């Protein structure tokens, strides 16, 4: 059974950038809904006792498991998302220096993240991944897709689904992205 992770912060910890109401709806309704759906979809299948990442690996690009893949991906994506809040303050200094060396500056990293958010058409995610080569990549995925789980280490992500920001920013996605990168990721 897949469990709903505990939030690693209080639901009002990032106000006013992300309101308590947005956190409560996003976590309590959307994220919980994906967890509940995965648990329903795995009943009586080979995935009933599988770990979340294994479900994603084994259902990716298999049309017969599309609903399970989509919901498992969204559980995984949201788990990373909540852990991304305040992430820059928790990264090791050496890792931060490596990231900034590749991107040139903190401002350039922020600009590229916001630009990636703005290029997502519809719903999706923006990720910072440390690839196995040691190179850092900003990756955008559509809908509930995840970056390939075994091809690097996900450092953080940004939710680009409207439920992540619409109550607080309406259709001002760029403002949400700028605030999220600076004041929620704390870059």
CATH of residue 28's domain is: 1.10.287.990
* Residue 3 lies inside a defined structural domain of this protein: no
* Residue 62 lies inside a defined structural domain of this protein: yes
Per the structure, how many domains does the chain have? 2
* Residue 164 lies inside a defined structural domain of this protein: yes
pLDDT tens over the chain, length 187 residues: 999 999 999 999 999 999 999 999 999 999 999 999 999 999 999 999 999 999 999 999 899 999 999 999 999 999 999 999 999 999 999 999 999 999 999 999 999 999 999 999 999 999 999 999 999 999 999 999 999 877 889 999 999 999 999 999 999 999 999 999 999 999 9
Q: Global pTM?
A: 0.95
Helix axes 66-84, 52-59, angle to 10 degrees: 140
Helix (H) or strand (E) holding 18: none
Residue with tokens 């990264």: 91
CB–CB of 133/139 below 8 Å?
no
Domain region containing 170: 87-184
The reply to whether 29 and 57 lie within a common domain is: yes
| CA–CA separation, 170 and 162 (whole Å) | 8
Structure tokens at 39: 């648990």
Over the Cα atoms of the chain, what is R_g?
A: 16
Q: State residue 148's pLDDT score.
A: 83
| CA–CA separation, 109 and 123 (whole Å) | 22
The reply to whether 154 and 95 lie within a common domain is: yes
Closest among 38, 45, 39, 30 to 73, alpha carbons compared: 38
Angle at 118 between CA 112 and CA 124, to 5 degrees: 105
Q: State residue 37's pLDDT score.
A: 98
- Spell out the residues 6+ positions from residue 58 whose beta carbon is closer than 8 angstroms to its own: 47, 50, 65
The reply to whether 99 and 178 lie within a common domain is: yes
Within 5-146, strands assigned E span: 124-131, 136-142
The reply to whether 58 and 132 lie within a common domain is: no
CATH of residue 171's domain is: 3.55.40.20
Task: Answer with the one of 63, 84, 105 that is the final residue of a domain.
Answer: 84
Q: State residue 151's pLDDT score.
A: 81
């Amino acid at each position: 059974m897949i469990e709903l992770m505990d939030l690693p912060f209080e639901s009002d910890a990032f106000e006013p950038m992300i309101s308590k109401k947005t956190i409560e709806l996003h976590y309590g309704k959307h994220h919980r809904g994906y967890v509940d759906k995965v648990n329903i979809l795995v009943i009586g299948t080979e995935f009933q006792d599988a770990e979340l990442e294994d479900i994603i690996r084994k259902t990716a690009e298999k049309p017969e498991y599309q609903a399970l893949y989509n919901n498992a991906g969204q559980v995984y994506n949201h788990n990373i998302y909540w852990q991304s809040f305040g992430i820059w303050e928790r990264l090791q200094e050496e890792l931060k220096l490596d990231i900034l060396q590749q991107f040139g500056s903190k401002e350039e990293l922020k600009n590229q993240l916001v630009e990636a958010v703005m290029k997502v058409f519809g719903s999706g995610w923006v990720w910072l991944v440390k690839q196995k080569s040691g190179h850092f990549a900003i990756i955008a995925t559509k809908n509930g897709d995840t970056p390939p789980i075994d091809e690097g280490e996900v450092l953080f992500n940004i939710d680009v689904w409207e439920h992540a920001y619409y109550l607080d920013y309406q259709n001002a996605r760029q403002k949400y992205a700028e605030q999220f990168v600076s004041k929620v990721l704390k870059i």
